[in-house]
Structure 1
Amino acid sequence: MRTAALSLLAMILLTAAVQAQTFRFSSFEIQGNTRIEEATILQTLGVARGQAISAGALSDGYQRLQASGLFQRVELVPQGSKLLVIVDEFPIINRINIEGNDRLSDDDLFTVIGSTPRRTYSPAQAERDAAAITDAYAQSGRLSATVAPKIIERRGNRVDLVFEVAEGRVSEVERISFVGNRAFSDRRLRRVLETSQAGIFRLLIGSDTFVADRIAFDEQLLRDFYLSRGYADFQVLSSTPELSPSRDSFFITFQIQEGQQFRFGELTASSDLAEIDVDLYQSEIRVRPGDIFSPQAMERTIERLELLATREGLTFIRATPRVTRNDRDLTLDVDFVLEKGERLFVERIDIEGNQTTLDRVIRRQFDTVEGDPFNPREIRAAAERIRALGYFTQADVSAREGASDGTIIVDVDVEEQPTGSLGFGLNYSVEQGPGVAVSFSENNFLGRGQTLDFTIDTGSENTSSSVRFIEPAFLARDLALSFGAFYQETSDDSLTFDTRTIGFDAGIAFPVGEYSRLRLSYGISDDKLTARDPANLSQILRGDEGSNVTSVVGYRWSYNTIGGGLDPTRGVRLSFGQDFAGLGGDTEFVRTSFSAEAQRTVANDEVTLRAAFEGGLVTSLNGTNSLQATRFFNRPSIIRGFETAGIGPRDRVAGDDALGGNRYVAARVEAQFPFGFLPDEYGISGAAFLDVGSVWGLDDTNGGPNGTDPVDDGFFLNSAVGVGILWDTQLGPLRFNFSQAIRKREFDRVQNFDLTIETRF
């Protein structure tokens, strides 16, 4: 075709030279066209009957016909006053097929190609489509994939367009290594990254597939990790992916420069504005000299200072940190200068990328609304809250100039991710055998930001189920309204009675501090105890027979800085609550419970230490006795190494029944650590723990069938030690606990093995 074109041009130029470089045609003859009208061809050619046309203009017309994408071949043959136009039309695409694709569906691939059935076939477009399909496979980690476009000729100048795909193998990340890291090991830094090394679950885990776009995100994760731990000068010097000769794996090397770890030095507030009381703002600085430097601590301080200015009725006040380095003692002095900022207002907030999540769910993360003063730090804080929702793999928030001077448009671009989880739990004990639990949770129900949980727990002797719904923004405020219903029954052959509980509760929770919340609740339940062998039922339980309605109002205060405080290496979780029964119903008591948990990492973040202490007290009112349904019983989450209800008062004369207690305390310490001899991409780590606790105290200790045999309800400190294996798989985190009771009474019941698993979809 190219040879014919060059020959034609040579002929035209030669003829033009002979005929003074002009043509004049009085007639046209077009051959080879079946679908394209002659008028369309002549219009594209740009030649009119009787019009003088130069050789260059005729060449331009030839080029336009070729570029139209309608013809495989075009030939112009001047024959005196007649121009012969010979064309060979491209065929029409009858249908398009993709063959050889297993990993990516036809629907996925059809979205990236431009060729369309019943349109003209274009070889150039088919080549572009093949390249687009290849790129789609590259994004899924198959860099060795090849795509070849083929055509199958049909009658009527039609063709079938077929893309033959050879998918090749996934290009995995075989190894991730670091150069320049001294404070943290390669193993610890790999846990920071989104990308992971290929391990034994390489067929299931998507994050070990090489995706070039993910490297930039990994670099940012590394920066955030080091900056939050005081390494103010940290830099990622380079990140180099190297493709193996077989093109099925990558070796990624991050070259970093850690720098020194800095701590906060002197922290002050200052201002030249007469309306600013500097001492008042100084008292709002909660960071203390000697704390590890972190941008999060500075941002929290800035937010607190600017919020104080708003409460004082001052607008456009900005707290600008001015940092002074003290390289000798590795500290950073920070002066928060309070000054007037630029007068800008928010024109509107534009949200894109949310297919399921409603706009209002994202919009309510902003304290700013249209028409409010623009505060860039508040916009960044809103971006963090949007990311913290867990609904999106990506949430970018940016600002641009508005339609008029002094206005700003805030753009929010999100990319959604699955928000549901399906959990399966397994446990085993020698006495009760295996148990199975199934749970479903959706944290963004119908895109409204609501939570819906449903659980079913079945075993050979116990069955329970519950459903809970949470609206986190009731009345468009930070009020979490929740409703729940539950059902539980026990049928333990080792007991002399069966139980059944059905109930409902509702509550509303709201913040009372930067890290604390308060929940107010009401609940009502119907608790039924049925004796299997009334003659052998413990006298202590006789008052529980039949149905008893419990109506309670309560409150619970909680405080949590684990994972969200100023120091990512440590945090605490505290709670205290009380339930008051007696507002209707058949029972009267006050039930108090508390818990305290602390967590921190040591050995350069390699080891996580946890310690927890909790307890509870039931106080019966007006001379009543507590019921079996309202007393405390042990659970594996309280004291491991013992069965549910495996410790505490027990009527050994009447059926050996566990009675529970009005009081309990428990303390747990645990260390989680990596297994150095296993590749960290396997996601396997270990744990060692020690649990101690006691359940004790009854209102009535007259046990036995006739109430003549006293029950031991004294305080006894049970204890157990154990080890755990934690396995972070794509199926979910698995935990195997192996425990051994080291202090127990002869009638206490142990549980030496426990397994839990959760999977996400």
Structure 2
Amino acid sequence: MAGYLGGDRCPLRPILTGGPTAVKHVLTDHHHPSRPPPRRRSVPSLVILLSLLIPLLSPIQGQDPPRIVAISLEGLDRLAEAEVLARMKIQVGDLWEPAELDAEYQRLWTSGDFLFIEAPLVTEVPEGVRITIRLEEKRPVVEVVFDGLQGLSESTITDTLRTEEGELLDRQSLANDREEVRHQFLQLGYRFVEVDTEVSDVEGGKRVVFVIREGPQVRIGSVFFDGAESFTSDALLEQISSKPRTQFFGIPNDGNLIEERLENDVEMLKAFYVRKGHFDATISIDRILYSSELEHAEVVFSIEEGPRYSVRAIEFEIEGERVFSVERLTEEVGISPGDDWDGDLVDVATNALRRLYSERAYIEARIVPSVVYSLEGFDLVLRFSIVEGEKIHVDEIQIRGNAETRDRVIRRQLVFFPGDEFRSDRVQDSWSNLNRLQYFTAVGVSTEGGDSPQRRNVAVQVEEGSTGRALFGIGITTGRGIIGSFSIQKRNFDITDFPTSIGDLPDAFTGGGQTLVLEAQPGTEYSRYRFDFREPNFLESLMSLSIRGYKSAYIREDYIEERGASEIAVGRQFLFDYNLRTEISYRHEKVSVVDVTSTAPQIVADSEGTTKISAVELSASYDRRKFRQMIGAVDGWNARGGFEIAGGPLGEELDLYRGTLSLGLYRTVFVQGEDLRHIITFKNNFAWEETFGDSTFVPIFERFYLGGAGTLRGFRYRGVGPRENGRPIGGTKRHYGSLEYTWPLAENTIRGIIFTDFGNISEETTGFDLDLYRVSLGAGVQVNVPFFGQPLPISFTWAEAIQSQPDDVPQEFLFDIGWNF
């Protein structure tokens, strides 16, 4: 009779028995059934073995193979024999083929139900052959126990394990889980951890115990760099993650001694040295010294710096029209012969060259730096290979993604047009302008093929966000009592977009680029009602039109102030520079000061009654800021100056001059990953006013005040400046500013803030000596909360007044909701 060949999944001991011609074939090494199956035989060797042996073990040529008369499965407990037999492809009555039995054996293994399968026993009987297969089932895990677990929570470990209660016990999975547990402890600095497993039979299945001997958690006490001469230890520590634990709850450095970190740190140090010109440097971990309790370690890196290479010359290989002279390119690079090699400066120079070409419309210029080593010495040639390509012009401009916003609203923010040179600085300005609108959650600019190799179609892709808010609320505020609030604030408003049906109402009045604010705030001590409408391109021109009106009443401590005003403004943008805007506005206002108490300051008593104001303001602004989503201004500067005259030839009861000037500087100092920016902001605001004609004093309601959010943090609202009887009376000259640093804590959703605010307010210019200025230092976070599809910035800040005057009122904590409208 023919023999049987085992498959490549598991070594077999196929046995053929029966009759006087019984033969046994043992094809693999014997192994004990309680041990896991040996490693799989390789497929090529199995194929060769099959090709040699199957002909020898097959039925004799011309003789029909016997039939299978019985299949017996032994060792089953959890599974029923009939269930397993029903899964099998070979059945009683089939012709016996060794290859089919081998395939069946493989299927049983791959089912995952069995811990061990013996080689099938094939017995010859008069009617044919009887097949017997002995199996050992996998048993379910009834209980998983962690013995000695202290440094990690059980839930943290079990989340990553495959050995779970209710699952079948698999020895390979258990071995992997044992290594996973050990790995988790190693990642926390448990350098000497040992993990074993114990498996025992219990009622209903298996009990698995992970026996953990944690040992001490090893923290890095100090790090040394033997052989480091060119760089300080602090500079090298910045390159690695294995460093002593920081005091504030281990944030950001936990101080754990982890092998993977050390290996990565060696590579990071090598990269740093190469980047700084030490091309021959070698780095290794020299030694790790442990404390007697094994809880602290001293890590010593061995550094052989080698020589630092220098730049012998700078060369340019230029393919193209040579748009720039070598002198101009060298000036842009900013690296001189004799300088030490610095890869960071080379990256900066490469980007500067790309920007130089792209700002001249060579947007496809390829610039690649390379190094030419000298045969002798330690200097090299820095060579820039430049393929200039063609100057690209704008062909068509396509607007995409704007389901609601009119094309014209987007196009008027662009500062490039069909036929223009496609310059990167103009693209950046256009992108910034679109971000500034806050209509879109994403803005992208890309190019596609045009009518000729020198022309490109430009696609402006936008993703629209919600641009309207309807707010209802009620609150209690310090100094303003109980206030109710109802407001509708709509950017990208369109006064002509009437709804065609009730279903169209949510999308109506949208897409025209206008601004609308309707606000009602009734309260017990303070009430305000406001209307504001602005059309930035009136009648599709460069002119803007704004109409505003408000009415308010404020019950102050010594009097009641009631105001009502209307205002109209016309602005102008200029073709020669879209960043420049001018505006002229007219304001007519009626102010009443009533119910003045006997203890009120004299300036309040003098202001009692009704005053009408007629005023015109001329203003100009210049804005070179770059904007990003969620952050706001990230680079550039802006300035605004205004001069207002009230009364005089305009009539009414108050004759007043007023001048204002504001300046803002913004600078990105560092970028992490994808647009995660560290930004420094410096702002200053100046204001001055004085009366003329028949007016002899500036009334209480037109004076300047200082303190609180938006002016001087660390002090209460109106808590800085001249006071009478403990009441703020304001001033006629004011200066305040801030220096602020912000950085991302959780993407751009949460940003950290540190700042210093400064300012002063006075009646006279002599009150602006530096020792009279108020100064505060503070820190906080700004959270951009998604709100109706828009980021709603909420800031929490703490500030300490480090320079103040006796009558000032400090306020350390400030909560502020900033509406970027």
Is 1:70 equivalent to 2:136 in the alignment?
A: no
Q: For residues 289 and 647 of structure 1, what CA distance do their matches in structure 2 show?
A: 53
| 2:550 paired residue number | none
Q: Deviations over 1:688-741 (max 9, x none)?
A: 99x9864334xxxxxxxxxxxxxx674341428999999999xx9998968466
Is 1:594 equivalent to 2:654 in the alignment?
A: no
Is 1:273 equivalent to 2:320 in the alignment?
A: yes
**SS where residue 125 of structure 1 aligns?**
helix
Q: For residues 449 and 265 of structure 1, what CA distance do their matches in structure 2 show?
A: 57
**SS where residue 124 of structure 1 aligns?**
helix
CA change 1:713–1:154 in 2 (3 A) is same
Matches within 5 A, 1:441-452: none
Is 1:695 equivalent to 2:771 in the alignment?
A: no
| 2:706 paired residue number | 633
Q: For residues 361 and 136 of structure 2, what CA distance do their matches in structure 1 show?
A: 75
Q: Which amino acid aligns with 1:19?
A: V
**SS where residue 686 of structure 2 aligns?**
strand
Q: For residues 462 and 199 of structure 1, what CA distance do their matches in structure 2 show?
A: 44
Q: Tell me by how many angstroms 1:270 deviates.
A: 6.2
Q: Tell me by how many angstroms 1:135 deviates.
A: 3.6
Matches within 5 A, 1:227-238: 237-238=283-284
Q: For residues 372 and 163 of structure 2, what CA distance do their matches in structure 1 show?
A: 61
Q: For residues 124 and 591 of structure 1, what CA distance do their matches in structure 2 show?
A: 76
Contact 2:189–2:218 (8 Å) recurs in 1: yes
In structure 2, runs of 5+ residues without a counterpart are 1-9, 26-56, 60-65, 391-423, 433-462, 469-473, 493-512, 527-553, 566-577, 627-633, 647-653, 671-679, 741-753, 782-794, 817-821
| 2:368 paired residue number | 320
Q: Deviations over 1:580-612 (max 9, x none)?
A: 7799xx9995421236799999xxxxxxxx998
CA change 1:612–1:529 in 2 (3 A) is farther
Q: Tell me by how many angstroms 1:285 deviates.
A: 1.8
- Greater Cα shift, 95-104 or 68-77: 95-104
Q: For residues 67 and 109 of structure 1, what CA distance do their matches in structure 2 show?
A: 28
Is 1:128 equivalent to 2:176 in the alignment?
A: yes
| 1:537 paired residue number | 600
Contact 2:709–2:814 (8 Å) recurs in 1: no
| 2:459 paired residue number | none
Q: For residues 718 and 579 of structure 2, what CA distance do their matches in structure 1 show?
A: 31
Contact 1:497–1:529 (8 Å) recurs in 2: no
| 2:733 paired residue number | 663
Q: For residues 298 and 556 of structure 1, what CA distance do their matches in structure 2 show?
A: 34
Q: Which amino acid aligns with 1:30?
A: S
Q: Which amino acid aligns with 2:386?
A: L
Aligned residue pairs total: 579
Q: For residues 274 and 150 of structure 2, what CA distance do their matches in structure 1 show?
A: 44
Q: Tell me by how many angstroms 1:756 deviates.
A: 9.3
CA change 1:84–1:227 in 2 (3 A) is closer
Contact 1:664–1:693 (8 Å) recurs in 2: yes
Q: For residues 261 and 468 of structure 1, what CA distance do their matches in structure 2 show?
A: 64
CA change 1:648–1:534 in 2 (3 A) is same
| 1:604 paired residue number | none
Contact 2:140–2:165 (8 Å) recurs in 1: yes
CA change 1:574–1:494 in 2 (3 A) is same
CA change 1:715–1:285 in 2 (3 A) is same
Q: For residues 296 and 313 of structure 2, what CA distance do their matches in structure 1 show?
A: 50
Q: For residues 19 and 199 of structure 2, what CA distance do their matches in structure 1 show?
A: 40
**SS where residue 576 of structure 1 aligns?**
strand
CA change 1:69–1:285 in 2 (3 A) is same
Q: Tell me by how many angstroms 1:90 deviates.
A: 1.7
Contact 1:91–1:121 (8 Å) recurs in 2: yes
| 1:87 paired residue number | 134
CA change 1:599–1:152 in 2 (3 A) is same
Q: For residues 293 and 59 of structure 1, what CA distance do their matches in structure 2 show?
A: 66
CA change 1:185–1:590 in 2 (3 A) is same
Q: Among 66, 69, 72, which residue is 1:30 paired with? A: 72
Contact 1:101–1:165 (8 Å) recurs in 2: no
**SS where residue 535 of structure 1 aligns?**
coil
Q: Which amino acid aligns with 1:174?
A: I
Contact 1:521–1:554 (8 Å) recurs in 2: yes
**SS where residue 197 of structure 1 aligns?**
coil
Q: Deviations over 1:392-428 (max 9, x none)?
A: xxxxxxxxxxxxxxxxxxxxxxxxxxxxxxxxxxxxx
Q: Deviations over 1:232-254 (max 9, x none)?
A: 75967235795958776665444
CA change 1:734–1:26 in 2 (3 A) is same
Contact 1:517–1:558 (8 Å) recurs in 2: yes
| 2:224 paired residue number | 178
Q: Deviations over 1:366-398 (max 9, x none)?
A: xxxxxxxxxxx99xx9xxx9xxxxxxxxxxxxx
Contact 2:241–2:253 (8 Å) recurs in 1: no
Q: For residues 259 and 529 of structure 1, what CA distance do their matches in structure 2 show?
A: 81
Q: Tell me by how many angstroms 1:134 deviates.
A: 4.3
Is 1:719 equivalent to 2:766 in the alignment?
A: no
- The structure whose RCO (Cα within 8 Å, separation 6+) is larger is 1
Q: Among 347, 350, 353, which residue is 1:302 paired with? A: 350
| 1:354 paired residue number | none
Contact 2:16–2:24 (8 Å) recurs in 1: no
**SS where residue 661 of structure 1 aligns?**
coil
Is 1:19 equivalent to 2:23 in the alignment?
A: yes
CA change 1:276–1:331 in 2 (3 A) is same
In structure 1, runs of 5+ residues without a counterpart are 1-5, 343-376, 386-444, 451-455, 473-478, 504-515, 561-570, 602-609, 671-686, 698-711
Contact 2:320–2:389 (8 Å) recurs in 1: no
Could you say which structure has the larger radius of gyration? 2
Q: For residues 62 and 278 of structure 1, what CA distance do their matches in structure 2 show?
A: 77
TM-score of the two chains, using structure 2 as the length reference: 0.47
Q: Which amino acid aligns with 1:285?
A: E
Q: For residues 582 and 320 of structure 1, what CA distance do their matches in structure 2 show?
A: 59
Q: Tell me by how many angstroms 1:215 deviates.
A: 5.5
Q: For residues 213 and 814 of structure 2, what CA distance do their matches in structure 1 show?
A: 37
Q: Deviations over 1:141-179 (max 9, x none)?
A: 566384747577555xxx377675859589454235130
Q: For residues 153 and 588 of structure 1, what CA distance do their matches in structure 2 show?
A: 94
| 2:28 paired residue number | none
Q: Tell me by how many angstroms 1:256 deviates.
A: 4.8
Q: For residues 84 and 630 of structure 1, what CA distance do their matches in structure 2 show?
A: 105
Q: Tell me by how many angstroms 1:321 deviates.
A: 3.5
Q: Which amino acid aligns with 1:633?
A: L
Percent same amino acid among aligned pairs?
Answer: 13
**SS where residue 715 of structure 1 aligns?**
helix
Q: Among 245, 250, 253, which residue is 1:198 paired with? A: 245
CA change 1:102–1:259 in 2 (3 A) is closer
TM-score of the two chains, using structure 1 as the length reference: 0.50
Contact 2:755–2:778 (8 Å) recurs in 1: no
Q: Tell me by how many angstroms 1:616 deviates.
A: 1.1
**SS where residue 593 of structure 1 aligns?**
strand
Q: Which amino acid aligns with 1:536?
A: T
Q: Which amino acid aligns with 2:704?
A: R
Contact 1:649–1:661 (8 Å) recurs in 2: yes
Please provide the CA RMSD for this pair. Answer: 7.7
| 1:442 paired residue number | none
Q: For residues 715 and 558 of structure 2, what CA distance do their matches in structure 1 show?
A: 21
Contact 1:641–1:720 (8 Å) recurs in 2: no
Q: Deviations over 1:430-477 (max 9, x none)?
A: xxxxxxxxxxxxxxx999999xxxxx99997689999999999xxxxx
Q: Tell me by how many angstroms 1:115 deviates.
A: 5.6
CA change 1:598–1:225 in 2 (3 A) is farther
Q: For residues 292 and 626 of structure 1, what CA distance do their matches in structure 2 show?
A: 65
**SS where residue 176 of structure 2 aligns?**
helix
Matches within 5 A, 1:425-440: none
